[in-house]
Structure 1
Amino acid sequence: MSLTLSLRTALSGLTAAQAALQVTSDNIANASTPGFTRKTVDLESRRVVGQGAGVQTGEISREVDEFIISQLRSQRSAVGEYSVRDRFLQQIQSLFGSPENNRTIPNGITELMTAFEKLAVTPEFAANAVEVVNAARQLGQLFNELAVTTQDLRLDADAEIERLVGIVDEKLGSIAELNAQITRATTLGQTTAALEDERDRLLGDVAEYVDIRVFSRTDGSVDVYTGSSRLLVSGGTAKSLTHSAATQVSASIGYVDPDDSAYPGAITGIFLDGTAAGDDITAEIASGRLKALIDMRDTEMPNLQSEIDRLSQSLSNEINAVHNAGTAFPPPSSLTGSQSFDGSDVFSATGSVRIAIVDQSDGTVVETTDIALGAFTTINDVVAAIDGMANASASLDSAGKLVINATTSGYGIAINEMDSAVTVIGTETRGLSHYLGLNDLFQANVSTSQYDGFSTGRQSSSTTAMGIAGTLTFAANGISTTAGYAATDSLEDIAATINANATLTGANIAASVVDDGGGRRLIVRDGDQDNFIITDSGSFLSTASMTSNATSASTVFSVRSDVITDPARISRAELSSAGGLAPGDIGITTGDSTIASDLAGILAADIPFSAAGGLSGTTTTFARYASSILSVQSTIAAEAENQLEFNNSFLTTLEARNSATSGVNVDEELANLIILEQSFNASARVLTAASDMLEELLNIVR
């Protein structure tokens, strides 16, 4: 070997040691830097004409296990999802209360029942009526607070979706930029290790929000896909991800899947590189923070809302049915309905109702009439019959609510439902006073009607054949039409048949199929909020548990304002149903507690509940149904907490495995530093010796 070659060989050793020292120093300096991976320099033997000629530095490479990194991304998605679920569900728990918390709906129902029982024992005590009103108001407030907060949480979730989508979009753009830089560096033969570290860090961040798959390309760049194989990043190009948050939500406002005929809904989707239905990837997101937020907004919160709506609607309906069957003592001089009507609204009923004008001082009958309802076809017929009494007037006010007034001071109005049965939908009927809402205890705190929209209970599928056949008959102001259904028809088919009916379309009556928990339900509404009746020659209405639409029932659940103002209006007695009741007879007695006892009894009775939200159909008491809602929420919250704990533990294990492969061990690096220092010194000594020998040789030649 020539002295010149020796010099060059020693110099290459110095250069290689210097490069390795730089990498080792960088490793030590970044030992605690998140996302940094240990780097190594590939050293290659250099040969000239088959003879060793020193060493040359190769690529600076990262010590990584791509399989573990892929697992880490998937696990970060899982942890991101369950951390969001846990946070939201804990918020619900804090609002809904725990089983031992006194301020819960089950306890509120029990307190109302206790108040009715006290009223039944001593109906003449005014304080007992006040206690009933207070218990009813507190229960209403619990329903209202839970419903409002549920919708607030949905709105928060949607706003969070918009924020996170913006973050993901920004990070995808950064990944595309890094791809371009890595490709350029690879082409120029420059190191890309630091750029790849930054890209992996960003990919891990994105995985926390949405499930992704990553594929490497030969030019050093990567392609990023969603779990459903939608392309997010290709080389140096990133697709845009967008979502516009809703400004308000309610129980009747939600996201609609692109496959649904009602698409788009009031809540928009998450769009990938466009705004068409085909660009909506909301339903395709399978894990990550976004998945949890979507589930909270579109499933968990609506489930809870549906359950409390079902409870509040059933509670209101059953209590009002009993309350309308009785009267206060003394009976009020005026009754105002809670339901709105047009005078020409269709009316269908059987049986008769008893209305009496009584002396408020002692309950003596002044005038009584039993009104047969079978021949009446419109609300105007009902109004005219009542208005025909000598000591009472009846009319619809500006809101379409029936108002009955005793025309003489000191007289009151009492009603006995008798066997009156007014058709609501199908075979569901109500007594006349209940139908009109004349003596309701609970009512909606907004002007509305229970007869302008109907909903089925939750069905497991909207595309499976119902297996029943028949004809639905729709009767409304000035119209009557039918819509047939066959045994092969599904919920979607029945909705389509209703919407294809020109008469119904002209009356602005439309059907839609919406999500409800793990299933679907059919809603039929009049867009003009006009009342209508549906009857059935088959069994669809009963099989599907179709009744007045309960959507938002808990939001507007409240005690009637006139009852709050005057607790003495609480029903406790019953107008005599004796045959031949005549003026001068005792119609009501002050100690009668028949209705107060019945009100307490209905709260202890088993009531049928159709499927709603995450609860199956069942027959149980109101308090037990409310407890089941609380119990289900507690179970869901506990499951989310357990899953978060488990997935965090697994993530920690994966991070430890990754650190063992990619992390910097400072002790090892320091030991390597000593070896490199010795190598550098040895190469320097060789270089010095070769230089001295070369100089000596030159001196000899001279």
Structure 2
Amino acid sequence: MSLNEILNSAMSGLAASQAGMRSVSNNVANVGTAGYAREAVSLSTGVAGGRVSGVIIGEPSRVADKFLENAVYQRAGNAGRTEAVSGYLDRLQALLGSSDSSSGLSARLSAITSSVNEIAGLQGSAQSVALFTGNVADTIDTLNQLQDDVSNLRGDVETEVGYTVDRVNVLLQSIHDLNNEVASLQGLGRSTAGPADQRMSALEELSGLMNVTVREQSDGRVTIDTASGQVLLDKRLRQLSYPSGAGASQATYPAIDIRFASDNGTMGASTGEKIDSTAIGGKLGGLIDMRDRALPNFSEQLGQLFSGLAETLNKASNEGTTMPPPQTLTGEKNGLIGSDRLGFTGKATFAVVAKDGTLVSKTTIDFDALGPTATVDDAVAAINAQLSPDATASFVNGVLSFSAASSANGVAVAQDADTPSDRAGVGFSQFFGLNNLVRSDSSALAPSGFTESDPHGFGTGETAQIVLRDPTGKILANYTMTGSVGSTFGDLVTELNASPLAAFGSFALDDKGRMAFTPTASASGSTISIPSDSTNRNGTGLSFSALSGLTGAASGLNKAEVSPGVLSDTTKLPLARLQLDAAVGEKAIGSGDIRGATAFVDALSGLVDFGKNGTATIDTFANRLLGSAGSEASLAKTAATDASARLSDALDRRDSYSGVNVDEELAQMVILQNSYSAAARVMTTASEMYDTLIGMLR
């Protein structure tokens, strides 16, 4: 080997040591930098003319394992989803309050039961009645407040969905730009460590926002797909288009559209693919789950609870009367008009009673005797025929009224002891809302009792949008019911069973006139919602949503209240009972009669038909609702903790491989120092040999 070759080899050794020291210097400087992967210099043997000639120094490269990085991306998605779900379920739990809180829903319901027991124990004192009616009003207010809180919480989720979509777009733009930089540097044979580190950090954040599949290409770029296979990035950038609702709770939300975008992020044509379910995973999937499934389901259950409570309390109040009885009983709209089928069986007694409780006149209407074709107007005529001139009944604008002719008298309605009147499981007075304790302008607070042969009464152009979602909140089918198939409720059933909804289940009217949906096995757990409804049955003000019972969202809770007259005057609570065997001139209502208090106690402890949610007592249903919410929050918190631990483990394994270890770097520095010194010594020796050679030639 010539002296020149020796010097060249030594110089390459010095350069290699310097390059190694630069990498060590960078590694030590970035020991605390998140997302930094240590550098290592690539060295190879120099060969010239078949002989070894020093060392060839390559560009510094990242020390990273793509499999360990992909493990981080996968686990970040699960951690992001569970953290989002757990956070909002915790907020929901905070809204519900602790189990021992006196203002919580469970405590409010218990207060109703305990206060009605006090009425019986204190012989119907004004204070005990006021406490009871106040507790009922407080419970309705609590339910309403919870509905508003859940709606606001849903609006907060929607706001965060918008922010998350915006952040995803920023990250996709950044990764696209870094892709171009990495590909350019790699094409020039230069180090890509810097932009590759930045890209990995962006990918890690993106994978926490949605589940992604990352693939590295031969030119150094990465492609990104969603967990469902939708392309987000290849050589062409995509962006997510979402018309955020500015944090407002809405009936339905638009899907997130995937659009092609220019290099500067300007959106263009749609790719034809959309993100519309929790399958997207990550934080975005968790938010969609809360917005489209968890919170609406809880809200609907609150509506079902209110419906059951209102029906229970009104059952007891309509079985009683007051002392003295009111001159007029005015009902509520139930969707019927005068020409509608009456649909009652059994008997009910209508009485006119003097202010001192003496019976003036009465009649017992046998609805079976009126016949199956009898109408509401026929029942009104039968009452008037028997009680005129002492009292009159009228049915105007869908509201039944029953009034005594003289202000010295009052009226009362009672069920027959042996064959009580019945339509859809409720009595005549309750069905028409004559003596309701709980009232609502947007619901009849009783089952409709319609059959398939009854006219639906919806006008031309009146529609109801029906949406079916799977257990994850994804829309399975969406149909706008028009009523154009025919004029009866049976025709509505036929229309729905011929719609796209029928691919996932079937519709039918149950024995209480409620529209029931039975999902197929593959669609088990799916839920129905009615986001928009312009129907108005024969101008009564009640819609398909309110009459069908398909969703608890139309329970009437939003306009519910305790009857104002009862709240302002404790004597207006119907605690007395009409004495059915009293003759004219005898006492039909006794002073101090509080037998109705027992009816309230029995009703509150009895079973209630919650339709698709089964049969249970009010307390059991409420405890099941609150317990389910608490259990879901607890499970979500555990899942978030586990997912965070798994993510930390993946990060530790990635960083233990690619992260900077100061001890290792110091050891490498000693090796490089020695290598540098040795190469320098070789150069010194070679230089001395040159000097000797030159001296010999002089």
* Counterpart contact for 1:508–1:528, Cα < 8 Å: no
For 1:454 and 1:696, locate their aligned partners in 2 and report how far apart those are by CA, in whole Å.
Answer: 118
Separation of aligned partners in 2, 1:526 and 1:372? 37
The answer for the alignment partner of 1:234 in structure 2 is 234
Q: For residues 129 and 103 of structure 2, what CA distance do their matches in structure 1 show?
A: 21
The residue that corresponds to 1:562 in the other structure is: 565
Tell me the residue number matched to 2:325: 331
Q: CA deviation at 1:521?
A: 4.8
- SS at structure 1 position matched to 2:31: coil
TM-score normalised by length of structure 1 = 0.82
Q: Which of 350, 353, 369 is residue 348 of structure 2 equivalent to?
A: 353
Task: Answer yes or no: is the 8 Å Cα contact 2:483–2:491 preserved in 1.
Answer: no
TM-fit CA distance, 1:38: 1.0
Residue pair 1:36, 1:197 contacting (<8 A) in 2 also: yes
Task: Name the structure 2 match of 1:245.
Answer: 244
Q: Residue 283 of structure 1 corresponds to which residue in structure 2? A: 277
Change (3 A) 1:35 1:496: closer
Q: Is the 8 A contact 1:420 1:430 kept in 2?
A: no
Which stretch shows the higher mean deviation, 206-215 or 588-597?
588-597
Looking at structure 1, the residues matched to 619 and 684 of structure 2 have their Cα atoms a distance apart, in angstroms, of 94
Question: What is the DSSP-based 3-state SS (H/G/I as helix, E as strand, rest coil) of the residue aligned with 2:652?
Answer: helix
Deviation readout 1:502-555 (Å, 9 max, x if unpaired): 44699999758589992345979974321699xxxxxxxxxxx97575324244
- The 3-state SS of whatever aligns with 1:473 is coil
CA-atom RMSD in angstroms: 3.6
SS of residue matched to 1:332:
coil
Shift of 1:700: 6.0
Answering whether residue 497 of structure 2 is matched by residue 501 of structure 1, we say no
Q: What does residue range 58-77 of structure 1 map to in structure 2 within 5 Å?
A: 58-77=58-77
Distance 1:9 1:453, change over 3 A: farther
1:675 aligns with 2:671: yes
Separation (CA, whole Å) in 2 of partners of 1:497 and 1:268: 20
Comparing 289-298 and 89-98, the one that deviates more: 89-98
Separation of aligned partners in 2, 1:73 and 1:277: 25
Query: What is the correspondence of 1:437-448 to structure 2 with a 5 Å cutoff?
Result: 437-444=433-440, 446-448=441-443
Q: Which residue of 1 aligns with 2:7?
A: 7
Q: Distance in 2 between matches of 1:354 and 1:218?
A: 88
Tell me whether 365-374 or 68-77 shows the greater mean CA deviation: 365-374
Equivalent position amino acid for 1:687 in 2: M
**Distance change >3 Å, CA 80–CA 63, structure 1 → 2:** same
The answer to whether the 8 Å contact 1:452/1:525 transfers is no
Change (3 A) 1:86 1:476: closer
Match of 2:509 in 1: none
Gap change, CA 1:174 and 1:452, over 3 Å in 2: farther
Match of 2:263 in 1: none
2:636 equivalent among 636, 640, 643: 640
Deviations 1:11-67 (A, max 9, x none): 222222222111111111111111001110011121221223211211322222222
User: 2:389: which partner in 1?
Assistant: 390
Query: Is 1:178 aligned to 2:185, yes or no?
Result: no
Correspondent of 1:364 among 358, 364, 385 = 358
Query: Mean Cα displacement is larger for which, 214-223 or 292-301?
Result: 292-301
Paired residue for 1:269, among 252, 255, 259?
255
Q: 1:247 to 1:473 in 2, by over 3 A?
A: farther
Kindly indicate whether residue 536 of structure 2 is the aligned counterpart of residue 529 of structure 1: yes
- Maintained 8 Å contact 1:363/1:586: yes
Which residue identity does 2:597 align to in structure 1?
Answer: A
1:52-63 equivalences in 2 (<5 Å)? 52-63=52-63
- For 2:682, the equivalent position in structure 1 comes to 686
Letter in 1 for 2:192: T
Question: How many angstroms does 1:209 deviate by?
Answer: 1.1
CA–CA distance in 2 between the matches of 1:526 and 1:190?
A: 63
Are 1:472 and 2:452 matched, yes or no? Answer: yes
Which residue number corresponds to residue 589 of structure 2?
A: 588
Alignment of 1:293-332 (within 5 A): 293-332=287-326
Find the counterpart in structure 1 of residue 200 from structure 2. Answer: 200
CA contact (8 A) 1:417 1:431 kept: yes
Aligned counterpart for 1:408 among listed residues 382, 406, 409: 406
Alignment correspondent of 1:518: 525
Question: Can you list the C-alpha shifts for 1:449-503, whole angstroms capped at 9, x where unaligned?
Answer: 4589899xxxxxxxxxxxxxxx933324599xxxxxxxxxxxx99x999966144
Return the alpha-carbon distance in structure 1 between the equivalents of residues 167 and 339 of structure 2.
54
AA in 2 matched with 1:569: K
Using a 3 Å threshold, how does the CA distance of structure 1 residues 61 and 594 change in structure 2: closer, same or farther? Answer: same
Would the alpha carbon gap of residues 501 and 51 (structure 1) be closer, same or farther in structure 2, given more than 3 Å must change? same
CA distance in 1, matches of 2:447, 2:602: 30
| 1:333–1:405 CA contact under 8 A, matched in 2 | yes
**Paired residues for 1:585-664 under 5 Å:** 585-612=586-613, 617=614, 619-664=615-660
Asked if structure 1 preserves the Cα contact closer than 8 Å seen for 2:75 and 2:647, the reply is: yes
Q: Distance in 1 between matches of 2:323 and 2:271?
A: 61
State the distance in 1 between where 2:529 and 2:164 align.
33
Q: Is the 8 Å Cα contact of residues 454 and 549 (structure 1) preserved in structure 2?
A: no
Residue 541 (structure 1) aligns with: none
SS at match of 1:558: strand
Compare 565-574 and 130-139 and name the one that shifted more. Answer: 565-574
Aligned-partner SS, 2:362: strand
C-alpha displacement of 1:318? 2.1
SS at match of 1:43: strand
Counterpart secondary structure, 1:474? coil
Deviation at 1:284, TM superposition (A): 6.1
Contact 1:344 1:477 in 2 (8 A): no
Identity %: 27
1:577 pairs with one of 559, 575, 580: 580
| One-letter code aligned to 1:287 | G
Distance 1:439 1:248, change over 3 A: farther
Quickly say closer, same or farther: Cα 1:386–1:697, change in 2 above 3 A.
Answer: farther
- For 2:156 and 2:118, locate their aligned partners in 1 and report how far apart those are by CA, in whole Å: 43
Q: The residue matched to 1:408 in structure 2 has which SS?
A: coil
Matched to 1:355, the amino acid is F
Matched length: 636
Distance 1:69 1:524 in 2: 43
TM-score under structure 2 length normalisation: 0.82
Deviation at 1:215, TM superposition (A): 1.1
Aligned equivalents of 1:137 and 1:685: distance in 2?
A: 95
Q: 1:335 and 1:472 mapped to 2: Cα distance?
A: 31
Aligned equivalents of 1:555, 1:345: Cα separation in 2: 30
User: Alpha carbons of 1:280 and 1:564: their partners in 2 closer, same or farther (altered >3 Å)?
Assistant: farther
In the TM superposition, residue 356 of structure 1 has moved relative to its aligned partner by: 2.4
**Is residue 665 of structure 1 aligned with residue 661 of structure 2?**
yes
1:548-590 alpha-carbon deviations (Å, 9 max, x no partner): 75324244443223322223211101122227x42x2212112
Question: Quick check: 2:328–2:401 contact (8 Å CA) kept in 1?
Answer: yes
Shift of 1:164: 0.6
1:40 maps to 40
